[in-house]
Structure 1
């Protein structure tokens, strides 16, 4: 997708395939979690590790109106 060494396209794939393991949106794909929940979670603090990184990334994508980047991937998964 990009020659940028800081860009990892695998993360985008994980956003459309990884499901929330707990909480109100348990079982929902990370990309489908509503923005208000991500905002709330950002204020409380994202969990540590990979899940927190994915939630934080999804928060930034939604905050900046970049969901269109995930549409082609969502069609494949």
Structure 2
């Protein structure tokens, strides 16, 4: 996994929708699951959301703690 992507998801904010303005890493799992079912947005945002989804799905949120400081 690219460490730059991990850093990005800890600062990048959701650009639209119900959680507009919330850091991607802080999005609730049910919202990420909805995107997973409906289809992730195209491009970089979709890749970032997929990464957050996989991290949360596998219980790896601890990977992000050092990057949030």
> What is the TM-score when the length of structure 1 is the normalising length?
0.87
* Rounded Cα–Cα distance in structure 1 between residues aligned with 2:32 and 2:19: 11
Q: Which residue of 1 aligns with 2:10?
A: 16
- Give the gaps of 5 or more residues in structure 2: none
- Give the gaps of 5 or more residues in structure 1: 1-6
> What is the TM-score when the length of structure 2 is the normalising length?
0.97
How large is the Cα RMSD of the aligned pairs?
0.6
Q: Which residue of 2 aligns with 1:63?
A: 57
Q: Max radius of gyration: which structure?
A: 1
* Rounded Cα–Cα distance in structure 2 between residues aligned with 1:74 and 1:36: 22
Runs of 4+ in 1 over 6 A off after TM superposition: none
